[in-house]
């Protein structure tokens, strides 16, 4: 028996030969859990991720992540009410922009008329050592059902967004939703936390799910709504791709 | 533009499948799940030490995590004095659906360290230098022990074949 014969025989007896590949989303969730130092068992095998929060809380929080514009018809999404905070000393704000907030919410984005803001304490530090960008949603005016946004345009996204990334909702705790960034068209962050202090549970018209992917854009460190942030779907992805072509 | 992946995640995504196979070959499914998660966690914490070719390094992390899990389980077993432990099959007994019980029996007759070298060579398809990184030996020592282990395993399999002849 040669070495090759022996190896072939062992390979035929490989216990992992019938192992099914892990679904891509599941792998991402697992890696995201590691980056937050939250061990999670693979969901598709023998266990499931414990439900962290109720559905209502999920809706409320991600409504804050994906802020719909309160602007008038035909307007591009403007600065709603989402303000950036840099939460931990030594952590980058991840946007590629300097963070001069000193850890406090800034007012770089002026609220629209009819929109009120309230002070929000900086989110509590997490155990993660990764780069983190925190986008804090303070509050917003009730969404006017009559307001209609124009279809997202690549040119607008390119002009306004300093951050554009694909991210999975990893964890929702109270009014803080944590997203793991997988890919970035522009800007840089591993983790994004969004703090929602709004009372409005519905803004973007869809229910978020832990483990699902979203495309999120931010202008002046404010989440862009009006269709510019939403579920990771081909149409929206195409806008992102068009907005940030290969240089 | 194809969006770029962030550093750790891009690497970790590539490591998941090899790590899953590594663990599936060495433990039960539930433990493999736990240890995979733990391995990624440790990899994240030690990501600054991750080499440019991270596979063998990741196997070494998984190996340590698996050893820790086994130690924890043994401690719990001792504390709980579970009756099922008395009926537990020997560590290397071939599974009922083992595709090659003869090979499993032969591997069980190698020392645990040699059997692991054989697995890393045949299943993970690592070379001596990579195996050395996983098990914490020198590449030279691995080459010598691997050579001996292969020879021993072949000899055991030949013995089996002789014994099975009418």
Asked whether residue A38 is domain-assigned, the answer is: no
Q: Token pair of A134, please?
A: 């925190």
Question: What is the number of structural domains in chain A?
Answer: 1
Identify the CA nearest to A4 among candidates A12, A118, A31, B14. Answer: A12
* pLDDT value of position A184: 85
Q: Identify the pLDDT of residue A238.
A: 94
Q: How many CB pairs under 8 A join A and B?
A: 125
**CATH number among 1.10.40.30, 1.10.10.10, 3.40.50.300, 3.30.450.260, domain B95-166:** 1.10.10.10
Please answer whether residues B157 and A5 qualify as being in contact, where contact means their C-beta atoms are separated by less than 8 angstroms.
no
> Inter-axis angle of helices B128-135 and B139-164, to 10 degrees?
100
Task: For residue B4, report the phi and psi dihedrals to the nearest 5 degrees.
Answer: -85, 150
Supply φ then ψ for residue B120, to 5 degrees: -65, -35
What's the pLDDT score for residue A144? 54
Residue B117 · residue B149 · CB < 8 Å = yes
Put simply, whether B36 touches A (Cβ < 8 Å) is yes
Give CATH 1.10.1740.10 domain extents, chain B.
1-88
Does B126 or A52 have the greater pLDDT score? B126
Is the CB of A130 less than 8 angstroms away from the CB of B8?
yes
Cβ–Cβ gap A40/B100 under 8 Å: no
* A182–B9 CB contact, under 8 Å: yes
**Tokens 């709980």, located at residue:** B80
What is the full per-residue pLDDT of chain A (247 aa) written as tens digits? 899 999 999 999 999 988 988 888 788 778 877 776 655 555 554 333 332 223 233 333 333 333 333 333 333 333 332 322 333 332 233 332 233 333 333 333 333 333 333 333 333 333 333 455 555 543 344 455 556 678 889 999 998 887 888 888 887 776 677 788 888 888 777 777 776 655 544 334 445 667 888 888 877 666 777 788 888 889 999 999 999 986 4
Binary contact (B34, A41; C-beta < 8 A)? yes
Contact B45, B8 (CB under 8 A): no
Whether residue A34 lies inside any domain: the answer is no
Q: Kindly report, residue by residue over B31-65, the tens digit of the pLDDT.
A: 899 899 999 989 988 888 899 899 999 999 999 99
Residue A2 belongs to a domain = no
Adjacent-strand bridge partners of A223? A218
pTM, full prediction:
0.52
Are the C-beta atoms of residues A109 and A79 closer than 8 Å to each other? Answer: yes
pLDDT of the residue at A121: 37
Residues of B in contact with A18 (CB under 8 A): none
Cβ count within 10 A of residue A173: 14
Q: Is B17 on the interface with A (CB under 8 A)?
A: yes
DSSP A146: T
The percent of residues above 90 in pLDDT, for chain B, comes to 57
> Are β-strands A132-137 and A191-196 bridged in parallel, bridged antiparallel, or unpaired?
parallel
Helix (H) or strand (E) holding B132: helix B128-135
Residue in A21, A39, A247 nearest the CB of B37? A39
Would you call B123 and A19 a contact, using CB atoms and an 8 Å cutoff?
A: no
User: With 80 as the cut, is the pLDDT of residue B5 above it?
Assistant: no
CA distance B79 to chain A (A): 25
Are the beta carbons of A70 and A203 closer than 8 angstroms? no
In-domain check, residue A20: no
Q: Which residues pair with A178 in a beta bridge?
A: A171, A193
Which of A40, A166, A246 comes nearest B37 by C-beta? A40
Between these two residues, B156 and A46, which has the higher pLDDT value? B156
Dist. CA B55–CA B53, nearest whole Å: 6
Where in the sequence of chain B do the CATH 1.10.10.10 domains occur? 95-166
Give A14's contacts in chain B (Cβ within 8 Å). Answer: 25, 123
DSSP state of A82: E
Coil, helix or strand at residue A95: coil
Residue A30 lies in a domain: no
The answer to whether the CB atoms of A245 and B121 lie below 8 A apart is no
Nearest-angstrom CA–CA distance, B141 and B149:
12
Distance CA A231, CA A209 (A): 10
Residues of chain A in contact with residue B29, where contact means CB-CB under 8 angstroms, are 45-46
Structure confidence at residue B147 (pLDDT)? 96
- Window 90-129 of B: residues touching A by CB (8 A cutoff) are 98-100, 103-104, 118-119, 121-123
- Best B7, B8, B40 residue to mutate vs chain A (most A CBs within 10 Å): B40
CATH number of B1-88: 1.10.1740.10
Higher pLDDT, B130 or A151: B130
Q: Around B126, how many Cα atoms within 13 Å sit in the side-chain half-sphere? A: 28
Indicate the average pLDDT of chain B. Answer: 84
Instruction: State the pLDDT confidence band at B97, using cuts at 50, 70 and 90.
Output: low
Q: How confident is the model at residue B73 (pLDDT cuts 50, 70, 90)?
A: confident
A10 and B103 within 8 Å at the Cβ level: the answer is yes
The dihedral sign for the CA sequence B3, B9, B10, B13 = negative
**Interface list for A 68-107 with B (CB within 8 A):** none
> What is the domain extent for residue A73?
52-243
Residue of B nearest to A37 (CA): B41
pLDDT attached to residue A177: 73
How many Å separate Cα A136 from the centre of its chain?
A: 12
Compare all CA atoms of chain A with the CA of B101 and give the residue at the minimum distance: A13
CA-nearest residue to B42 within chain A is A34
Greater confidence (B113 vs A99) lies with B113
């Amino acid at each position: 028996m040669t070495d090759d014969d022996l190896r072939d025989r062992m390979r035929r007896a490989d216990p992992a030969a019938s192992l099914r590949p892990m679904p891509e989303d599941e792998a991402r969730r697992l890696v995201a859990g590691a980056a937050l130092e939250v061990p999670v068992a693979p969901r598709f095998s023998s266990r499931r991720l414990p439900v962290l929060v109720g559905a209502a809380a999920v809706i409320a929080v991600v409504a804050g992540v994906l802020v719909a514009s309160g602007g008038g018809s035909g307007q591009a999404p403007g600065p709603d009410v989402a303000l950036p905070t840099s939460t931990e000393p030594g952590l980058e704000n991840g946007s590629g922009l300097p963070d001069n907030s000193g850890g406090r919410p800034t007012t770089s984005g002026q609220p629209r008329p009819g929109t009120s803001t309230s002070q929000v304490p900086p989110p509590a530090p997490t155990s993660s050592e990764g780069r983190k960008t925190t986008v804090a949603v303070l509050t917003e005016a009730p969404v006017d059902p009559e307001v209609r946004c124009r279809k997202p345009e690549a040119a607008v996204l390119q002009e306004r967004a300093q951050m554009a990334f694909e991210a999975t909702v990893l964890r929702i705790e109270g009014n803080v939703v944590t997203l793991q960034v997988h890919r970035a068209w522009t800007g840089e962050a591993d983790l994004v936390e969004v703090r929602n202090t709004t009372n409005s549970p519905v803004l973007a018209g869809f229910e978020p799910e832990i483990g699902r992917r979203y495309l999120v854009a931010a202008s002046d460190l404010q989440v862009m709504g009006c269709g510019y942030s939403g579920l990771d779907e081909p149409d929206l992805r195409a806008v992102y791709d068009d907005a940030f072509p290969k240089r | 533009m194809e969006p770029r992946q962030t550093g750790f995640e891009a690497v970790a995504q590539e490591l998941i499948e090899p790590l899953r196979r590594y663990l599936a070959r060495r433990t039960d499914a539930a433990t493999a799940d736990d240890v995979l998660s733990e391995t990624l966690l440790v990899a994240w914490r030690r990501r600054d030490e991750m080499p440019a070719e991270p596979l063998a390094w990741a196997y070494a992390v998984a190996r340590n995590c698996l050893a820790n899990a086994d130690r924890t389980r043994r401690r719990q077993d001792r504390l709980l004095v579970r009756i099922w432990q008395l009926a537990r099959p020997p560590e290397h007994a071939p599974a009922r659906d083992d595709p090659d019980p003869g090979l499993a029996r032969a591997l069980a007759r190698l020392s645990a360290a040699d059997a692991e070298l054989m697995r890393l060579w045949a299943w993970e398809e690592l070379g001596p230098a990579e195996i050395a990184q996983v098990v914490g030996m020198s590449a030279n020592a691995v080459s010598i022990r691997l050579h001996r282990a292969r020879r021993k395993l072949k000899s055991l399999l030949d013995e089996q074949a002789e014994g099975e002849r009418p």
